Amino acid sequence: MGAEQQLRFRVFPPPGQNEGQLEAVVELATGRYTQDLVTIAYEHIPTQSVLRPARAKVVKIDLKKEGDRVGYIMGAGDEVPASLRQIGYEVSLLEGREINLARLQSFDAVILGIRAFNTIDRLKFQREDLMRYVEEGGTLIVQYNTNRRMVTKEVGPYPLKLSRDRVTVEEAEVRFLQPDHHLLRYPNRITEKDFTGWVQERGLYFPNEWDERYEALFSLNDPGEDPKQGALLVTKYGKGHYIYTGFSLFRELPAGVAGAYRLISNMISIGKQP
């Protein structure tokens, strides 16, 4: 009772991009077992045991990328760093005094986690170093923030205004405003197929006003609502690139959505095309 055993095995995926389910099965004289026992134990509730299918989603992605080192500034908390490590990026979590120009310049791209401008008070002072990093050739990717209780409203190099705009239907059509934009061409060609299989939503808290120097790449909306073009904005600033996205990558990457991995790889790779 309670004994454990570790087993090693190799899985060979089919050719090409593919998704599947990996299931653990144990066959003993007493029967066939296909469930995972999870214990939920907190002081404020009775201990509970939950049986669930012992399976996991596995994905083989047709993926190319440029750059290897990513600096990640954790906001309210998400699983994006672990997801990026799974596709070969070296991810360093940055906090406090580490967010300075000299440290930032060691990365191919720097990503701000969800609601970073809502939760990290120091960013109102460190914003200048982040913009200098972009100006001198870096790539800065800012994920969604709410439009209330921000430590600074200047989240980009040029003005943009956050709203409560969102698209909650995960199958909502995503229209390409600039299909030949370099962010959508290299190193992966992003198409409508990359927006299949999304979970829970498309995105949230899109900007609804922005400086003309930003380029909007997509248009999408929930049924019966007006089109929204703030899901992903990109601009050249100095020698580098700044990207703001309200796409819910923090949900799609842990869920194994192949298109989300291809899209964020292109975002990290921007400006690195030979």
Q: What is the DSSP letter of 57?
A: E
- Number of helices (H), then strands (E), in the chain: 7, 17
pLDDT band at 1 (very low <50, low <70, confident <90, very high): low
Two tokens at 135? 């100006």
Q: Given the DSSP bridges, would you call strands 218-220 and 174-176 parallel, antiparallel or unpaired?
A: antiparallel
Q: Which CATH superfamily is domain 69-269 in?
A: Class I glutamine amidotransferase (GATase) domain (3.40.50.880)
30: Cα separation from own chain's centroid? 44
pLDDT in tens, 204-237: 999 999 999 999 999 999 999 999 999 999 999 9
Residue (of 106, 93, 152, 156) closest to 130 by Cα position: 156
pTM score of the predicted model = 0.90
Query: pLDDT at position 257, please?
Result: 97
Domain boundaries, the chain: 18-59, 69-269
pLDDT in tens, 91-141: 999 999 999 999 999 999 999 999 999 999 999 999 999 999 999 999 999
